Structures are given as C-alpha cells and as structure tokens.
Amino acid sequence: MPNFKNARLSEDIKREISGLICERIKDPRVKFGLVSVVRTELSGDNSHCKVYISHLDGMEASKNAVKGLESASWMIRKEISNKLHLKKCPELKFIADNSIEHSAEIAKMLEDMDIRDDEEADGEEEE
C-alpha cells in the first residue's frame, strides 16, 4: 500500500507528464487535447512507474499515443527529474487505456435516457 509521500510523487509525475504533453512533445501521435494521463502507479521503491494513457478516439489511438510517448520517454524522464528534483527518476512504462472512450459512451447513454424521459413527460402532460 503506497504511503503519502509515494502517492504525492505519483500525482506530481502525472501532472508533469500532462504538462509535457501540452507543451513539449511534438510527436503527431500524441495530440494535445485528445491524449490524457488517466493515472500513474508508482512502485514502493520509486523505481518504476506505470502511466495509463487514454485517447479520445479509442483504444487504437491510445496505443499509437503510447508508442509516441515511449519514443520520447528519455526526454520525459529528464524533465521529471529536473522539475521534481529527483536523484533517480523512475522507469516509465506507458500503458494504453480506453477509459475516456468508455466514459464518453456512458455519458451518451445517459443523455439518451434524459431525452426519452423528457419526451415521455411531455406526452403525459398533453393527455
């Protein structure tokens, strides 16, 4: 179970990677606004970090974004180490995730339900 310091460092790494996606990474597979860092999991000894990446366009786009981030991982590690003042930056493992696509599907289903409920309520009022 991660302690407070580990959890804080994990969130700091997540924030820094998100910022780098916005500002520094120019790979066309990693498009700002479409790619999101969902969560990070830091090992107990801070030597490895799993970074879950999701893309708005689905799982295949997430896998392509992961490839783009893996090619820039040396730069990401260097920036994280400099900004967070780490002696040893954890090894980053990027993992594709489809949680944004999944949440968009759920939101669409909820919107469809609201529209049907409104239509049914309008039909009952007219009678």
Is 41 buried (19+), middle (13-18) or exposed (0-12) by CB count in 10 A?
middle
Structurally, the chain folds into a number of domains equal to 1
pTM (2 d.p.) = 0.78
Residue of higher predicted confidence among 97 and 126: 97
Q: Is residue 8 part of a domain?
A: yes
Mean pLDDT of 56-61: 85
3-state secondary structure of 115: helix
For residue 26, what is the domain's CATH number? 3.30.300.20
Kindly indicate the confidence band of residue 126, based on its pLDDT and cuts at 50, 70 and 90.
Answer: low
- Residue 49 lies in domain: 4-98
- Confidence at residue 120, expressed as pLDDT on a 0 to 100 scale: 63
